[in-house]
Amino acid sequence: MLQCIVLVNTLVIVMKKLFLLLAAPLFISSNPYEKKKPKKDSLPNIIHIFADDLGYGDLGCFGATDIKTPNIDRLAKEGMKFTSFYSASSVCSPSRAGLLTGRYPQRMGINEVFFPESFTGMPPEEITIAEMLKQRSYATGVVGKWHLGHREQFLPLQQGFDSYFGIPYSNDMESVVYMRNNAVETFTVDQRYTTRTYTEEAIGFIDRNSERPFFLYLAHTMPHVPLYASERFKGTSERGLYGDVIQELDWSVGEVLKKLESEGLLENTLVIFSSDNGPWLVMEDHGGSAGPLREGKQYTFEGGMRVPTLAMWKGKIAPGTVAKALATQMDWFPTIASLTGTELPTDRPIDGKDIAPVLLGTGTRPDDSFLFFSGAELQGYRKGAWKVKKAYEGFEGNKWMKKVAPHDSLLIHLEKDIGEQHNLYRAQKEKAQALFSEMKNAHQKMGPLPESQVVLSADDVSHFTYLKSKK
């Protein structure tokens, strides 16, 4: 009997140990405090390549015949081309704020561009794509133009990015430097090699992070003026220096794609290509082309805010797809959240919409409206194929901004009139007034907006005025 009891106890102990051994993974995986590390192949890498002042008519896949862009065209051939894609603004800093946060820049008071003299920037409490992706343990990096404030509290490392290299504002501004992370690396910048330098930095980032999911924001300085191309590309296009610059950008895209292929990462990487706003037409042959669109940078006509945009994700996005419906730069924030299983912030409005169904061919964008702001002023509204634009008094032009004639209130059917040449306001006044009413309501729903941030104050030159008065 005693032997039987001992045997039973022994069996119970063995069974308990066996149960604990088999059940251990269940207990471990159910620990709510454990940080789960996702499999590498379960999360896509994301590369967003952002050109500066690139026009709608500057790429082969958007109709350019005098500039060769085979690598960028490959993104359209093997992925999706968006033909009605909008920047959040017609100028640089607000556009970038909208892209990285998924919010209209007016919510942050970012209505103008920042300068080297600026003591302001994108508020640190804003949540960027990079900060959001930290939920999923992404490596995050910026290479190129930041232009959201260069004081330390506004730099990328304080906005969720692990690394930064580039020129922190526009290349025509004073004190052009290369910064690395939070410090100036060199005060000597030969802009002939800026595109090449950014490309090398981008490839280095991919190389260092090839074993984990990553988000790379590659924000090129070009083709913002002053234009520079390296010797290898000068004289290679049929559109002068501007075309040469674009062809070097195309080479850069090709190098990134080659790196992804060599690392076996291309099929698990969403590659996005776009521009921050339309072409700077006042710069003439150094300012790019809006193609069939009206006007360019600094204006809320289509040429200022409709930008060439492409997305390639092999095996996920059907090759050669054309998306004609409205989408915006702000959409990438919720879209990336959707594609990576990341939670969106719930303590603030997100203006962008999830276009993952558009990319994957499973649905449409859940909204077809967009507000056109010029600085803090709401000037226009699009709903479906229709666009209304408030009357404009015109601008006589200066060396920074193109002359534009005044116009009455506009009603445009964009699917029939992409160039905004035929005003239907008088013929369909009720339609126009209904759209203006929708525009007003959408603006009011945004709630109170902050005052515009101070980006620059005037010099006090009274001492020179005094000296001149003595002569």
How far apart are alpha carbons 468 and 471 in whole angstroms? 6
- Whether omega for the bond prior to residue 450 falls within 30 degrees of 0, making it cis, is no
**Residue 239 confidence (pLDDT):** 98
How far apart are alpha carbons 115 and 294 in whole angstroms? 28
Find all residues with CB under 8 Å of 372, minimum gap 6, and list them: 300, 305, 378, 379, 380, 381, 382, 387, 389
How far apart are alpha carbons 12 and 15 in whole angstroms? 5
- Of 38, 43, 78, whose CA–CA distance to 265 is shortest? 43
Residues catalogued as catalytic:
92, 147
Find all residues with CB under 8 Å of 270, minimum gap 6, and list them: 44, 45, 46, 47, 311, 312, 313, 316, 339, 359
Single-letter residue type at 268: N
Instruction: Take residue 89 and report the two structure tokens written for it.
Output: 């603004």
Residue pLDDT tens, the chain, 471 long:
434 433 333 433 333 333 223 333 332 333 322 333 334 458 999 999 999 999 999 999 999 999 999 999 999 999 999 999 999 999 999 999 999 999 999 999 999 999 999 999 999 999 999 999 999 999 999 999 999 999 999 999 999 999 999 999 999 999 999 999 999 999 999 999 999 999 999 999 999 999 999 999 999 999 999 999 999 999 999 999 999 999 999 999 999 999 999 999 999 999 999 999 999 999 999 999 999 999 999 999 999 999 999 999 999 999 999 999 999 999 999 999 999 999 999 999 999 999 999 999 999 999 999 999 999 999 999 999 999 999 999 999 999 999 999 999 999 999 999 999 999 999 999 999 999 999 999 999 999 999 999 999 999 999 999 999 998
Evaluate whether 105 touches 124 at the Cβ level (below 8 Å). Answer: no
Both ends of the chain: CA-CA distance in Å? Answer: 125
User: Helices (H), strands (E): how many in the chain?
Assistant: 11, 16
**Residue 38 confidence (pLDDT):** 37
pTM for this one?
Answer: 0.91
How far apart are alpha carbons 465 and 298 in whole angstroms? 32
Across 236-262, b (16+ Cβ under 10 Å) vs e yields ebebebbbbbbbbbbbbbbbbbebbee
How far apart are alpha carbons 423 and 198 in whole angstroms? 44
Evaluate whether 225 touches 148 at the Cβ level (below 8 Å). Answer: no
List Cα–Cα distances, 20 to 6, 13, 25, 42, in angstroms: 21, 11, 9, 30
Per the DSSP assignment, residues forming a β-bridge with 5 are none
E strand segments, 201-319: 214-219, 269-275, 309-312
Q: Are strands 386-389 and 183-186 parallel, antiparallel or unpaired?
A: unpaired
How far apart are alpha carbons 353 and 456 in whole angstroms? 33
Q: Give me the half-sphere count of Cα atoms (radius 13 Å) on the Cβ side of residue 64.
A: 26
Largest CA distance in the chain: 125
CA-angle at 144, arms to 344 and 290, nearest 5°: 85
Question: Taking each helix axis from N to C terminus, what angle separates 70-77 and 240-262, rounded to the nearest 10 degrees?
Answer: 60
For 377, the 3-state DSSP assignment is: strand
How far apart are alpha carbons 136 and 141 in whole angstroms? 15
